[in-house]
Structure 1
């Protein structure tokens, strides 16, 4: 027996001359969420200015978010890719859409954004990761964060960019997913004894 299908609702009508851009709304919500890591409106205005002038704003970690710095060698060993677009696609799949920033200056590094509490609550993982040149940055650290719309590599500027953009405001990588990724990366690089604990 089959159940009758309910017809899909009609798309929302917009008045003439009004365009709707869901992606723009998501980016704006993400921008506001990222800026909410800063304590004052003056600090938020300064960060917006940094984004506009330098393509990077220094945001504090350890409150709403922390970051796990993963060397490019580990990411490339897992991805088996060298091109940035192919690596970005791999990361989006492997980290289940969790946000990742690729920093290009001084050698490529990847910063996976995780909940702010991870450095304080997962000492076991943080200690294991440190043995692999992976650093968990939390309270007291700052991260250079590109604006939400800087989501592809620009060879002319070599600026940091969102390798995997934040899908929605506050959507971060799950610690378990990051741990599994790092464990697989350790095996790919021949670094035994790394657990993928939850």
Structure 2
């Protein structure tokens, strides 16, 4: 592991009450880390992110996120029923988050955080990896992305089945 990755790993692990445990979990791939100390996390529905990016292609989404959320970090979790993205934002964002239809996780919520080099499936991975310690997205930039994605979804006509006479 190079020094930059070690620095990011140490920062992410430092959010855990037992950083050594988080580092061991990163050795396997994903550590459970509580929000609120080093970062908060905004849970974004994949359709909103994809609509904002104008694509579902992982490379196009990553490029869009890098442009929209420079210097930030975003986890993509495609497991389970829903498909989610988690934008890491500054701690304290939860107290003032107001974007409709999108949740900022309550401080103390345990989040599955991939180690910094996991940038592709399978499993949770970084859609926009952290490159430095404290790689968080500006909360307003995330809110703007949500607004753009929601507006795009509203403009997209819903498909309706055709009726035959």
TM-score, normalised on structure 1?
Answer: 0.72
What does residue 190 of structure 1 align with? Answer: 154
Query: Which fold has the larger relative contact order, with Cα–Cα distance below 8 Å and residues 6 or more apart in sequence?
Result: 2
Gaps of 5+ in 1: 1-22, 192-198
TM-score by length of 2: 0.86
Q: Which residue of 1 aligns with 2:115?
A: 147
SS across alignment from 2:8: helix
**Which of structure 1's runs of 4+ aligned residues deviate more than 4 A?**
none
TM-superposed CA distance for 1:171, in Å, is 2.2
Match of 2:4 in 1: 26
Aligned-residue offset at 1:69 = 0.5
**CA-atom RMSD in angstroms:** 1.7
Contact 1:91 1:164 in 2 (8 A): yes
Offset at residue 75 of structure 1 (A): 0.9
Q: Corresponding residue for 2:30?
A: 56
Contact 1:116/1:138 (8 A) holds in 2: no
- For residue 21 of structure 2, the aligned residue among 31, 41, 46 is 46
Report SS of the residue matched to 1:143: strand
- Number of residue-to-residue matches in the alignment: 154
Matches within 5 A, 1:23-172: 24-39=2-17, 43-53=18-28, 55-106=29-80, 107-120=82-95, 122-123=96-97, 125=98, 128-129=99-100, 132=101, 134-151=102-119, 153-154=120-121, 158-172=122-136
Q: Aligned residue for 2:159?
A: none
Structure (1 or 2) with the larger CA radius of gyration? 1
